[in-house]
């Protein structure tokens, strides 16, 4: 259970995250890696972190370009679970 974020809280979180943008009840970011294996490496790191958080992003894989979309389905919108996992995804992208 996590409270839905207000519009202001979402804007503040996005300003801190940088690469993410809001699309309705979701936030999304794209990352282009050097090649396909690196993109899959990022996906594997994100998968581990998502399992630890018990919160899971939608991931679109197109060759070396990844698109992550986050929303808290059980709450029908954005919560701290999404902004927290977004930061972990950013770290995973930077670490590869
Ligand atoms: C029991 C478990 O925590 C829930 O089913 C989780 C799993 N992962 C999830 N991921 C996302 N993005 N939204 C959810 O509501 C959600 N629910």
Q: Which domains can be identified in the chain, with CATH numbers?
A: 7-95 (3.30.1360.20)
ipTM summary value: 0.93
The closest of 93, 87, 90, 85 to 53, measured between CA atoms, is 85
4 close to ligand 1 (CB < 6 Angstrom): no
Q: Tell me the best of 26, 51, 56, 78 to mutate to test the pocket of ligand 1, counting ligand atoms within 8 Å of each CB and taking the most.
A: 56
Residue 53's pLDDT is 97
- CA 36 – CA 61 distance, rounded (Å): 9
* Alpha helix positions (H), 1-96: 7-17, 36-53, 80-95
CA–CA separation, 50 vs 93, rounded Å? 14
The low-confidence residues of the chain, meaning pLDDT below 50, are none
Cα–ligand 1 centroid distance for 25 (angstroms): 15
């Amino acid at each position: 259970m996590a409270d839905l974020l207000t519009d202001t809280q979402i804007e503040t979180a996005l300003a801190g995250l940088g690469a993410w943008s809001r699309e309705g009840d979701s936030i999304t970011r794209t990352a282009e890696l050097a090649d396909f294996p690196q993109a899959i490496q990022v996906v594997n790191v994100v998968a581990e972190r998502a399992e630890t958080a018990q919160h899971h992003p939608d991931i679109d894989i197109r060759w070396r370009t990844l698109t992550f979309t986050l929303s808290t389905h059980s709450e029908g919108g954005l919560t701290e679970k999404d902004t927290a996992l977004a930061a972990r995804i950013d770290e995973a992208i930077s670490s590869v």
